[in-house]
Amino acid sequence: MIRINEHYLKLQASYLFSDIAKRVAAFQKANPGKDVIKLGIGDVTRPLPAACIQAFHKAVDEMAAAATFRGYGPEQGYDFLREKIAKDDFQARGADIAADEIFVSDGAKCDNGNLQEIFATDITVAIPDPVYPVYLDTNVMAGRTGGFADGRYAGVVYMDCTRDTGFIPELPRKKVDLIYLCFPNNPTGGTITKPQLKQWVDYARGNKAIILFDAAYETFIRDDRLPHSIFEIEGAREVAIEFRSFSKQAGFTGTRCAYTVVPKACTAFTAAGEPRPVHALWHRRHTTKFNGVSYPVQRAAEAVYSPEGRAQCRELIDYYLRNAALIRKEMTALGYECIGGENSPYIWVDGKTDSWKFFDLLLEKANVVCTPGVGFGRCGAGFIRISAFNDHEKVQAAIERIRKTLTVA
């Protein structure tokens, strides 16, 4: 008899963003005339930078000629891209990362979700609350948790991110093995300073733990004092893995390109306590289960590092940051406490009421989609997340509608 992985039965009925999409689709079906503005899922709306498009076209043309055609590429990514990443994203910031420590992939979500499989199933995992649901759900699927009750899975060490903690996690009091951190944070938009991040690196070193550091939103950092990478912190090479993405940085959500940094010094242990480099394990996994990102997409990603690409990406991010600043300013003026929206595309708003109730109010009365904070965890109850990813005119219109709705409500 074929049997299922019963850990899947512990999961909530559907993935947060699928659930929201279904609710919005039902609303649109019932109200066909209404123009709904989406500030829910963090999906970009602006076109790819011109430098990326140009490189993309050129690479597609290369695929059309026998002399320049390419079949399977290296699973870890082409050297032309890995070398630029290592030099520009890390070495230029004083972070000691080499090209062969970069694994190019089709998405940070996939890498974030897949990486846990190289670790034992009986380790202790520390996860912030609220959190990007992928970290939690993939550990549930792998069987690292017990059942779900009262908004939490048994066996997980939750790190509450509340007003009391400044909306960032505090070091666990209990010893943990695998730690998920995300900065600038999704969903709260919170940031971390170098001294704060150093405490995490020291904790991991002291406890033989590993930090999975999600830096998918680093490109939104405008405050020069904030670290862009965990590898700017001394000692992190031995205890951290970092995820990056071209999705938000260069509008690649539909194009698909990201990368994961696994330093060769990063070590995990066998049950007998023998150290093993995780780079070799991830390399083995990646080459077995993944066949590389397409050549034209990697050429398009490479163009991000050209002088034109760099300027165009900066302009793109400035565009969304302008939206974020407007949302934060207006929601604050309406009397709602806001976190994020600076160095981040997300604004975490204390809605002072049930998250889903606030979501429904904005959808039904303002025809604006946000994300209910409680969907990111129990500590998100009462909050909503507003995303700055949309065209500026739409964000202005959404804010105007929200103002009218909340002033009347």
Query: Of 200 and 243, which CB lies nearer to ligand MLT in the complex structure?
Result: 243
Structure tokens at 175: 């010893």
Minimum distance from residue 296 beta carbon to ligand MLT (Å): 22
Query: What is the SS3 assignment for 340-390?
Result: ECCCCCEEEEECCCCHHHHHHHHHHHHCEECEEHHHHCHHHCCEEEEECCC
Minimum distance from residue 389 beta carbon to ligand MLT (Å): 8
CA distances from 60 to 198, 295, 386 (A): 44, 8, 37
Residue sitting closest to ligand MLT (CB): 42
Print the binding letters for residues 56-95 with ligand MLT: x by CB under 6 A, - otherwise: ----------------------------------------
| Cα 175 to Cα 179: distance, rounded to the nearest angstrom | 11
Minimum distance from residue 109 beta carbon to ligand MLT (Å): 4
Contacts of 406 (CB under 8 A, 6+ apart): 334
110 is a contact residue toward ligand MLT (CB under 6 A): no
Structure tokens at 358: 């606030």
Minimum distance from residue 253 beta carbon to ligand MLT (Å): 7
**Which 8-state DSSP code applies to residue 49?**
P
Structure tokens at 145: 């948790």
**Stretch of 25-33, 40-48, 92-100, 155-163 lying at the interface with ligand MLT (CB under 6 A):** 40-48
Structure tokens at 397: 């219109």
343 is a contact residue toward ligand MLT (CB under 6 A): no
144 is a contact residue toward ligand MLT (CB under 6 A): no
Residue count (the chain):
409
Pairing of strands 210-214, 152-153: unpaired
Print the binding letters for residues 112-141 with ligand MLT: x by CB under 6 A, - otherwise: --------------------x---------
42 is a contact residue toward ligand MLT (CB under 6 A): yes
Minimum distance from residue 32 beta carbon to ligand MLT (Å): 26
Query: Of 109 and 328, which CB lies nearer to ligand MLT in the complex structure?
Result: 109
Q: What residue ranges in 53-123 does DSSP mark as E strands?
A: 102-105
**Stretch of 37-45, 119-127, 201-209, 305-313 lying at the interface with ligand MLT (CB under 6 A):** 37-45
Minimum distance from residue 45 beta carbon to ligand MLT (Å): 12
**Stretch of 41-49, 115-123, 203-211, 293-301 lying at the interface with ligand MLT (CB under 6 A):** 41-49
Contacts of 292 (CB under 8 A, 6+ apart): 72, 73, 74, 75, 76, 77, 104
In sequence order, the β-bridge partners of residue 275 are 269
Query: Of 204 and 255, which CB lies nearer to ligand MLT in the complex structure?
Result: 255
Helix (H, G, I), strand (E, B) or coil at 129: strand
41 is a contact residue toward ligand MLT (CB under 6 A): yes
Query: Nearest Cα to 320, choosing from 303, 297, 343, 304?
Result: 343
| Cα 183 to Cα 198: distance, rounded to the nearest angstrom | 13
Compute the radius of gyration of the chain from its Cα atoms: 21
**Stretch of 6-14, 38-46, 115-123, 198-206 lying at the interface with ligand MLT (CB under 6 A):** 38-46
186 is a contact residue toward ligand MLT (CB under 6 A): yes
In sequence order, the β-bridge partners of residue 157 are 126
| Cα 376 to Cα 385: distance, rounded to the nearest angstrom | 10
Query: Of 110 and 281, which CB lies nearer to ligand MLT in the complex structure?
Result: 110
Helix (H, G, I), strand (E, B) or coil at 288: helix
Query: Of 43 and 308, which CB lies nearer to ligand MLT in the complex structure?
Result: 43
Minimum distance from residue 186 beta carbon to ligand MLT (Å): 5
| Cα 141 to Cα 337: distance, rounded to the nearest angstrom | 35
Minimum distance from residue 142 beta carbon to ligand MLT (Å): 19
109 is a contact residue toward ligand MLT (CB under 6 A): yes
Task: Report how many residues bind ligand MLT under the rule CB under 6 A.
Answer: 6
Q: Which residues bind ligand MLT (CB under 6 A)?
A: 41-43, 109, 132, 186
